[in-house]
A and B are shown apart, each in its own frame.
Chain A
Amino acid sequence: MSVLFFDGCGEYYSTSQLVDVWTVFGAPTVTSTGGRNNGAYIHFPNGAFITKVLDINYQEVIVGFGLRSTAFAEGSDILGFFNGSTLMVSIEMTAAGGLKVMRGGSVEIGATVNALLQANAWHYIEVRLKVDNAPNGEIEIWIDGVQRLLDNAVDSLNGTDATFDALTFQEFIQPWDMDDVYVLDPNSGAASPHNTFLGDIQIDAVVPDGVGAHEEFDTAVGSVNHWQNVDEIPHTGDTDYNESPTVNDRDLFTFGDLPAISGGSTLLSVKATTLVRKIDAGLGQFRLVARPVATNRNGDTLTLSTEYRYHQHIWDLNPETSAAWTDALFNASEFGVEVL
């Protein structure tokens, strides 16, 4: 898997549920409209930050995100790559509308030219970082699909462990807005469909809108129409839900179509997300299922807590064709869950 994580804020749309997706500190907010494509976005007021802890440690990743700010302040952090408590590398604004790269928060190791960022406008930032001593460290920044910084011989290592385990988006000095985040492993192998910058992307959320091939859960609380118990943004928890104690029970749903993008688009990856919990002690497991279009394709086994948590499975390729997704195939696909 090459895409490790992405978030267009579309599946939760609310400040209170930001904690279901990110580790949250301070008081970041989520606004349901006004994002890059008039969807939801995250705002970082003074002292707010959110962290995505990676499943394993990485030496190199690519991170993309939309950025909008009313102004620019010298040295205002926006993204940090952490190894435990050690800040490896951070990306900061410059007062003149550029970005600079800091090692350990204090040593500048690279910068773009100024005046690339405009106030009150969305820009799409992509950062590739490989942490290592010179000449093996690498830093690369693209802004709005154009390369603006490349140094393949930089000292980007703070300390001795050339890995990082967490990405932190944060506000320091200058509040800003964020949308459409992705994290990608560029070293996931030649067979991986995505090993480099994705470019200026858009992340859309679609929700269930109809009955799929399987409707095997119970609907004790909510609508008799299974899909109507799982189509809320933001989610409503125990207000309505589908449930099943039976191994191999499945619920699959049809989904709304992707929005059309003028000039056409390439569908890079699909993430199925579900909010789920078990209701009693004991081993509880399930998997996400894609049905594109005739056969069920199963995701990994996922383990439940007794409290609601978002679980995801990313299909970079259409699992039925092992080729890139198309809008048409996605729109015709069903997604759902199966009890294990």
Chain B
Amino acid sequence: MALLFLDSCDHITTTAQADLKTSTGTLLDAFETSGGRFGGGAYRLDGSADSIIRGVSSHTTIVAGGAVKFVNPMDSMTLFDEIISFREAGVATHVTVGVDRGFIRAKRGVGNGTDLGASATRIIYDTLWHFIEAKVFLSDTVGTVEVHVDGVQVLNLTVQDTINGGGGIVDEILWGRLFNASDTRWDDLYIDDANILGDSRIDLLMPDGDGNYTELGTTFGSATHAFNVDEIGPDGDTTYNNGTAVNQRDTFTMGNLAAITSQVIHGIQQVTYGKHDGTATNHRSKLRISAVDYNGASLALASTYGYHLEIWDQDPNAGPGAWVESVINGMESGYEEL
């Protein structure tokens, strides 16, 4: 049981940056730096082919969620539009969850696919943020589709044929738009391989000071390493830290989470943005909790900037165990050249 992807939509400022994180090569979208669900950024889909696409490893059970808002009046005359699609990249769309005049409806295939079922009542309204989550199990005979809206189950289909040809796996999620709601916003996106998480927010924490390690170079930018990597909307070669030797490390103190009241912390995702300078290089994300280092997987850098993600479902310093607010606020986050 693991998170596969998180996107607060708060740490990027341009469509090009968004494309680096979510595109699998066909993304057409726009990005807004304000107007997100709790402020901050959001994806804006307003072209006929606009969508957000994220590739993941292959799964037969997978969950995708996010906050969506149809900014303009939702044309009640619009029939089924694809909101979250579970796809086998380049092969098939197995299941699509859509909005059908305010109902939530699931189909095998895309809009003209086989109807699997719909919510009992209309529960999607225009001009409001809704948190929509869909869990799909692929099977020719006992497939399931479960959809929650704003934390409440609205559709629970069992004993379904949820495989639309291909190899019967999902390795790509598409978040779409209402065709006639010409401005559809998405925020707080997630993908999980097992669980519907419930109405969730994704908070962005950025470096705010140097941590225990300051071993990379600071040729371009500030002598304070954190200040070269603290931009919302990375500034590329303007300021950065440059590694010159294997096992050089930088870790940073980070800002604090917005207040957590009764919510559960489902996981954290470290995001690094980097490239190599002509020689193939790997790096790994690093957490430092209570003076102990924890390393992520080895990730290859390309010759152009790209985002690299490392997800920690649990606090590695707690057994591992559940994350708590104070640990996140007190830990350091960084990276190590390999």
**Chain A nearest Cβ from B310, distance in angstroms:** 23
A312 an interface residue at 8 Å Cβ cutoff?
Answer: no
Q: Do A284 and B126 have beta carbons less than 8 Å apart?
A: no
Q: Do B263 and A166 have beta carbons less than 8 Å apart?
A: no
Q: Which residues of B contact A19 (CB under 8 A)?
A: 73, 127
Q: Do B129 and A306 have beta carbons less than 8 Å apart?
A: yes
**With contact pairs A282-B198, A307-B128 given, residues A84 and B79 touching in the complex (Cβ less than 8 Å):** yes
Q: Do B76 and A56 have beta carbons less than 8 Å apart?
A: no
Q: Which residues of A contact B112 (CB under 8 A)?
A: none
Q: Which residues of A contact B151 (CB under 8 A)?
A: 282-284, 303
CA–CA, A23 to B71, complex, Å?
12
**With contact pairs A54-B122, A166-B101, A281-B131 given, residues A85 and B78 touching in the complex (Cβ less than 8 Å):** yes
**Chain B nearest Cβ from A243, distance in angstroms:** 12
Q: Do A165 and B76 have beta carbons less than 8 Å apart?
A: yes
**B interface size (C-beta, 8 A):** 34
CA–CA, A314 to B14, complex, Å?
47
B279 an interface residue at 8 Å Cβ cutoff?
Answer: no
B220 an interface residue at 8 Å Cβ cutoff?
Answer: no
**Chain A nearest Cβ from B22, distance in angstroms:** 21
Contact pattern, A 296-312, Cβ under 8 Å of B = 1, otherwise 0: 00000001111101000
Q: Do B37 and A306 have beta carbons less than 8 Å apart?
A: yes
Q: Which residues of B contact A281 (CB under 8 A)?
A: 38, 131, 188, 199-201, 263
A245 an interface residue at 8 Å Cβ cutoff?
Answer: yes
Q: Which residues of A contact B76 (CB under 8 A)?
A: 23, 51, 53, 82, 84, 165-166, 168
CA–CA, A56 to B17, complex, Å?
42
**Chain B nearest Cβ from A249, distance in angstroms:** 14
Contact of B101 among A84, A245, A282, A283 (CB under 8 A): A84
A280 an interface residue at 8 Å Cβ cutoff?
Answer: yes
Contact pattern, B 174-217, Cβ under 8 Å of A = 1, otherwise 0: 00000000000000100000000011110000000000000000
Q: Closest residue of chain A to B131, judged by CB?
A: A281
Q: Tell me the A112-146 residues at the B interface (CB within 8 Å).
A: none
Contact of B152 among A85, A303, A307 (CB under 8 A): A303
Q: Which residues of A contact B188 (CB under 8 A)?
A: 281
Q: Which residues of A contact B150 (CB under 8 A)?
A: 283-284, 303-305
CA–CA, A73 to B69, complex, Å?
39
Q: Do A282 and B128 have beta carbons less than 8 Å apart?
A: no
CA–CA, A84 to B105, complex, Å?
14
Q: Closest residue of chain A to B80, judged by CB?
A: A84
Q: Tell me the B233-289 residues at the A interface (CB within 8 Å).
A: 261-263
Contact of B198 among A283, A306, A309 (CB under 8 A): A283
Q: Closest residue of chain A to B201, judged by CB?
A: A281
CA–CA, A280 to B127, complex, Å?
17
Q: Do B74 and A282 have beta carbons less than 8 Å apart?
A: no
Q: Which residues of B contact A285 (CB under 8 A)?
A: 152
Q: Closest residue of chain A to B74, judged by CB?
A: A23
Q: Tell me the B68-114 residues at the A interface (CB within 8 Å).
A: 69, 73-74, 76-79, 101-102
Q: Closest residue of chain A to B69, judged by CB?
A: A307
Q: Which residues of B contact A84 (CB under 8 A)?
A: 76-79, 101
CA–CA, A23 to B74, complex, Å?
7
Q: Do B78 and A25 have beta carbons less than 8 Å apart?
A: no
A211 an interface residue at 8 Å Cβ cutoff?
Answer: no
Q: Do B77 and A85 have beta carbons less than 8 Å apart?
A: yes
Contact of A55 among B122, B129, B131, B152 (CB under 8 A): B122
Contact pattern, A 274-301, Cβ under 8 Å of B = 1, otherwise 0: 0000001111110000000000000000
- Chain A interface (Cβ < 8 Å from any Cβ of B): 19, 23-25, 51, 53-56, 82, 84-85, 165-166, 168, 245, 280-285, 303-307, 309
5 A-B contacts (beta carbon < 8 Å): A51-B73, A82-B76, A282-B263, A283-B199, A307-B129
- Chain B interface (Cβ < 8 Å from any Cβ of A): 37-38, 67, 69, 73-74, 76-79, 101-102, 120-122, 125-131, 149-152, 188, 198-201, 261-263
